[in-house]
Amino acid sequence: MPDSPEDKTIDWNQFMIFVGVGLLAQLVDGALGMAYGIVSNAVLLALGLPPAVASATVHTAEVFTTGVSGGAHALFGNVDWRAFRRLAIPGVVGGIIGAWFLASVPGDALKPYVYAYLLILGVVVLVRAAGRVVSHHRVRHKGILGFFAGLLDAIGGGGWGPIATSTLLARGGPVRQTIGTVNAAEFVVTIAISSTLVAHMGIQHWPIVLGLLAGGVLAAPLAAWLVRHLPPRYVMTAVGCLIVGISLYQLGRYLLG
């Protein structure tokens, strides 16, 4: 169980554990365009933190990790700046609304519906990775996608990448630019979510925040390099397997527990 918010002493064993969690989560997120928040948030919830506190802790660390990740993707030419604007601005609006809602009402009731949606998208991405074209129509209303991705990311403590990346890839988006653009837009959305949650409840559990931050920053440049050099089909297969696996696990928890 994490230390109480009043305990300012750094537990170095705890710190190193969360360096490892942050490193793994950001390596997956930067290379596949998703899962930093989901991985980190799942660990914090398992340790007993309330959903709002866990989301605030993860998003505080993500302000820095998404900044490094987005900058690395921009450096490697992975960002479509027009799509970035169309995702990021509505995403900020959705993130602020979701963070305000989370600070007032538990968001667990929405999660089964989110994971059911992601399960469907995960299957679609795997079908595309196998060489079958599911749809020739790109996502036209990226603003609507960005709004709901930001909203659900704030409420669920993670989900911007799975929702935005999965939808864009499932509808035929180019792998490298999709992952890079979603990661870059996530930086702006995360600032909005973190600021809103911190304004409501302050920053708690600093050793966890610093551990997640340190591990995430170390992994971000490597992840951006990987997504530039890995074959798109391999990346899409990994994305699909990750989404399906997380969705089935989470849905199983709700159905059985």
| Helix (H) / strand (E) containing 171 | none
| Percent of the chain as helix, strand, coil, to the nearest 5 | 80, 0, 20
pTM: 0.75
When pLDDT is cut at 50, 70 and 90, the band that residue 6 belongs to is very low
User: What is the DSSP-derived secondary structure letter of residue 105?
Assistant: S
Angle, alpha carbons 204-205-208 (nearest 5°): 135
Question: In this structure, which amino acid lies at residue 81?
Answer: W
Mean pLDDT of 226-238: 77
- CB atoms under 10 Å from CB of 54, counted, come to 26
Residue with the two structure tokens 């996530």: 186
- pLDDT, one tens digit per residue, over 102-134 is 888 766 676 677 778 778 878 877 887 787 655
